[in-house]
Amino acid sequence: MKYVDEFRDPHLIRQVADEIRRLANPDRHYRIMEVCGGHTHAIYRFGLADVLPSNIELIHGPGCPVCVLPMGRTDDGLSLTARGGVIFTAFGDVMRVPGTHGSPLEHKARGAEIRMVYSPLDALNLAGANPEKHVMLFAIGFETTAPSTALTILQAKAQKVTNFSVMSNHVTIIPGIKAILESPDMRLDGFVGPGHVSTVIGCRPYEFIARDYGKPVVVSGFEPLDILQSILMILRQLEAGRAEVENQYARVVPWEGNLAALKVLAEVFELRPYFEWRGLGFISQSALKIRDAYAEWDTEKRFSLPGIRVTDPKAAQCGEVLKGVLKPHQCKLFGKECTPESPVGALMVSSEGACAAYHNYVHRKTEAAAAVA
Amino acid sequence: MCLAIPGRIVDLPAERPQFAAVEVGGVRRQVNIDLLSEEPLQTGDWVLIHVGFAMSKISEEGAQEQMRLLAMLGEDEQAMEEIAGYGIGWEAEEKAS
Amino acid sequence: MSEPPLVRFRDPQIEMSHGAGGKASRRLVEGLLAPLFGGPLLGPLGDAAHLDHDGSRLAFTTDSFVVSPLRFPGGSIGDLAVNGTVNDLAVSGAKPLALVVSFILEAGLPAAVLEAEVRALADAAQRAGVQIVGGDTKVVEHGKADQIYITTAGIGRVDPRVRITPQSVQPGDQILLSGPIGDHGITILLARGEIDLEADIRSDTRSVLPLVESLIEAAASGLRWMRDPTRGGVATALNELARDCGHGIVLWEEALPVREPVRGACELLGLDPLHIANEGQFLAVVAPELADAALAALRAVPGGEEAIVIGEVREQPARTVLGTASYGGTRVVDMLVGDPLPRIC
């Protein structure tokens, strides 16, 4: 597969890994955060920690939209299925997310009308095909996905589809990163920047990290070679005492971002004054709300949602893992009360959540190794 | 938010200007190209696809430049090894550490 | 070698995941069914039960088929119903003697649809060299079943040269795979029509009996274990083996055979081919000194040309399947909870 296989070339991967080893200062411990859940998933999926020297520590950031979604929002969305005549649609990532009374799949097993979609347009098409029902899209994602939701709402308006609405759980990445940077227990040396969010917002929004916090940011692709090259670029900056934003993913990411996407975002969405991020608390100006002009397609305006707030059990240390203060297996509930099958906290729910990724891809390696030792 | 795949435009049907037929490893999908409305697209172009939308046009030059940079790493290493092989002072020490 | 932990079934209701072949299924079988049915014959939970009778070892198995849609590129429910049970017998080292077929039919089902599946069953049985000797038919009210549900049961005689148990699997043993993975599951996903993906992918449903017979001829004395990786995919089958034999399994990621369009679909949807169902492939664990002969025997059979060694058994990490890449990266390949779900993140 072109533009994929070249960036998985084992020979080149070894070369970049060797260069990283050569460059890394053995007296230094590097803490690098990859912001995006997709990067977390790729790091585990390709076993990249195995080829990095032990003094480079990868910290998993909060860029997992399912992980930071408060359970109350899921409950609110699912509450609509109780009234009959509403079809709840969402991407596969959401289907196993537990609400207070079960996940969407569990609700479906009890007879609720729940449909998985692969694109927001699928949900709109479903509305067209089911005029007697109301189709609600439970929209999640950062700036990568929000423009597609926005275009779909514009499409709904153009086609005069009235039995369709979106419950926007879209969040924005910069406030999430700021929350990490301002956290007092945070010690990070650099950031692997979210490559696909950046196709929309470009590279400029990260400049404050380099300028005000003195940390390098390298916007990265998602193949093993991309991630390793980005780590190398961060290391080079650190060793040279530089702090800049660089674009490793230049084959895909335009420095200025995607103007058409930004325009359509601004047309349909505005920032909520504040929004709750599970594990991180309320963050101002960090989430997208549908503008009044498009209220007809805003689930929260069309229906009155209960506004459920669910607090996580105190023992769940999601916030600390999200901020990179704790590793997944250091949370007291990890692997016992909290597993991918019975997740307590958000990070165990999504396959790209740090805890789920660690549990699925790493945990048993280290468990087995410990058993042998 | 992050799963996006490169695909090649194989058809731009005039009757559906918002969509392109895109091929990914032998699989065809209808992809909405409204987010790339400010760029001229033609069949053979590669785009990055996320949830059925094209997010960005992939730059072949960008990809090749990246491969070139990566390949140079290997050359640098080989050059270092050659120098170290001559047993000249600091390079040999650095290689040994 | 430590015992696997006791499983308890405490789920309050049945979910789709209990039928998906992954962890939830295993919990149901091991936590509810096996303890209540338990007896000396219900030993290791393999593809078929082994019964000793009059000096012969018999294999006895059953399977149900509820696939929707009924027809898809490469086959139909009728093909699956025969091949599935034939394959369960084959990977138990048995030559199928006979099959019985039960139908649960939804009232309102067009007779032409039923006839097409009966023909498919008959043709598949003929191709597989097995006879359908009996069965049953029930009809339920419209809405109480999804068109046709088929259950087949099969009995066969285990080749006396074959002694396959997970306990005989040893570090150093080689893991062979008969051909490309993921075809069937992706075909069904696309055939449901929920995603507008077009691809030249067909179900791989077929009888693997000729391949297994060739393997037995060449390597019976070194043949330790076989399994057909249906729902849950290769990942589930190998995790079950790892658990049952107590050793580790290492997979060479670059050796896994996946057809290009299956790979394309998986990349697009965020799915791992290792978790996708197959209906015409099988895994075999063979002693290292016979691995070359075993592979050659598979490749010599039409349909076995793409057979390949995909990994080996190791002592560590115990009871774990580890995927390894040639650049040194490793990852645990686990069983899923339920069906693999496409993702966007």
- Over chain A, what is the mean pLDDT? 93
Q: Using CB atoms and an 8 Å cut-off, which of residues 111-140 of chain A contact chain C?
A: 116-118, 122
Read off the pLDDT of each residue in B73-93 and give the average, rounded to a whole number.
57
What gap in Å lies between CA C203 and CA C341, rounded to an integer? 19
Structure tokens at A291: 């503008």
Q: In sequence order, what are the residues at sequence separation of 6 or more whose Cβ sits closer than 8 angstroms to the Cβ of residue C319?
A: A364, A368, C4, C242, C243, C246, C247, C248
Q: How far apart are the C-alpha atoms of C222 and C163, rounded to whole Å?
A: 9
Q: Work out the average pLDDT over A140-156.
A: 98
Residue C50: what pLDDT? Answer: 87
Residues of B with Cβ-Cβ distance to C180 under 8 angstroms: none
Q: Same domain for B52 and B66?
A: no
- Asked if pLDDT for residue B96 goes beyond 60, the answer is no
In this structure, what token pair is assigned to residue A211? 């300028």
Q: Would you call the peptide bond into A328 cis, given omega within 30 degrees of 0 as the criterion? A: no
Check A145 against C254: CB less than 8 A apart: no
Mutation for C interface: A347, A365, A366, most C CBs within 10 A: A365
Residue C108 is predicted with a pLDDT of: 96
Tell me which chain B residue has its CA closest to the CA of residue A200.
B55
Q: Does B23 share its domain with B44?
A: yes
Summarize pLDDT for A337-366 with one digit per residue, the tens: 998 888 887 788 777 788 988 888 777 666
Residues C271, C269: Cα–Cα separation, whole Å: 6
Q: What is the pLDDT of residues C56-86, one digit of tens each?
A: 999 999 999 999 999 999 999 999 999 999 9
Measured between CB atoms, does A38 come within 8 Å of chain B?
Answer: yes
Q: Which residue range(s) make up the domain with B47?
A: 5-58
The nearest alpha carbon in chain A to C326 belongs to A10
B10 and B30 part of one domain: yes
| pLDDT of res. B90 | 42
Contact A143, A173 (CB under 8 A): yes
Q: Residues spanned by CATH 3.40.50.11740 within chain A?
A: 71-170+277-302
pLDDT at residue B79 in the model? 66
Q: Are residues B49 and B67 in the same domain?
A: no
Identity of the residue numbered C327: Y
Whether A254 contacts chain C with CB within 8 A: no
The enclosing domain of B28 has a CATH number of 2.30.30.140
Structure tokens at C241: 């083996």
A69-94 per-position pLDDT tens digit: 999 999 999 999 998 899 999 999 99
Assess whether pLDDT exceeds 80 at residue C136.
Answer: yes
Shared domain check, B35 and B13? yes
Domain ranges of chain C: 48-158, 166-332
Which residues on C lie below 8 Å from A37 (Cβ)? Answer: 345
The residue of chain A nearest to residue C334, with distances taken between CA atoms, is A360
Q: Is C260 on the interface with B (CB under 8 A)?
A: yes
- H/E segment holding residue C125: helix C111-128
Query: Are B53 and B69 found together in one domain?
Result: no
Q: Cβ–Cβ of C263/B25 closer than 8 Å?
A: yes
Query: Are B12 and B48 found together in one domain?
Result: yes
Q: Which CATH superfamily is domain C166-332 in?
A: PurM-like C-terminal domain (3.90.650.10)
Count Cβ–Cβ pairs < 8 Å, chain B vs chain C.
42
Q: Are residues B20 and B48 in the same domain?
A: yes
Residue range A307-332: mean pLDDT, rounded? 86
Asked whether the beta carbons of C204 and C278 are under 8 A apart, the reply is yes
**How confident is the model over C114-130, as pLDDT tens digits?**
999 999 999 999 999 99
Pick the CATH number of A71-170+277-302 from 3.40.50.11740, 3.30.1320.10, 3.20.20.60, 3.40.50.720: 3.40.50.11740
Calpha distance A135→A145 (Å, rounded): 19
Q: What is the percent of chain B with per-residue pLDDT over 70, rounded to a whole number?
A: 74
Q: Does C345 contact B27 at a Cβ distance shorter than 8 Å?
A: no
Whether B31 and B65 map to the same domain: the answer is: no
pLDDT tens digit string along A17-52? 999 999 999 999 999 999 999 999 999 999 999 999
Contact B66 A251 (CB under 8 A): yes
What is the predicted pLDDT for the residue at A370?
54
Query: Which residues are CB-neighbours of C77 under 8 A, at least 6 positions away?
Result: C65, C67, C70, C71, C117, C120, C148, C150
Q: May I ask the CATH architecture of the domain C48-158? A: 2-Layer Sandwich (3.30)
Provide the domain count of chain B.
Answer: 2
Residue with tokens 């227990």: A185
Residues 6+ apart with CB under 8 A from C119: C78
pLDDT (tens digit per residue) in A231-278: 999 999 999 999 999 999 999 999 999 999 999 999 999 999 999 998
Can you list the positions of beta strands (E) in A119-278? 134-139, 164-168, 190-194, 217-220, 245-247, 269-271, 274-277
Residue B97 has pLDDT above 70, yes or no: no
Q: How far apart are CA C189 and CA C191, in angstroms?
A: 6
Q: What are phi and psi of C112, to 5 degrees?
A: -60, -35
The predicted structure's pLDDT at residue B82: 65
Cross-strand pairs, C94: C158
**Is B2 in Cβ contact with C268 (below 8 Å)?**
no
Q: How far from A269 is each of A29, A175, A260, C218, CA to CA, in Å? A: 42, 17, 14, 67
pLDDT at A279 over 90: no
Interface contact flag, A18 B77, Cβ < 8 Å: yes
CATH architecture, domain defined by A5-64+180-247: 3-Layer(aba) Sandwich (3.40)
In this complex, the chains that touch A, judged by 3 or more CB pairs closer than 8 A, are B, C
Contact C320 A105 (CB under 8 A): no
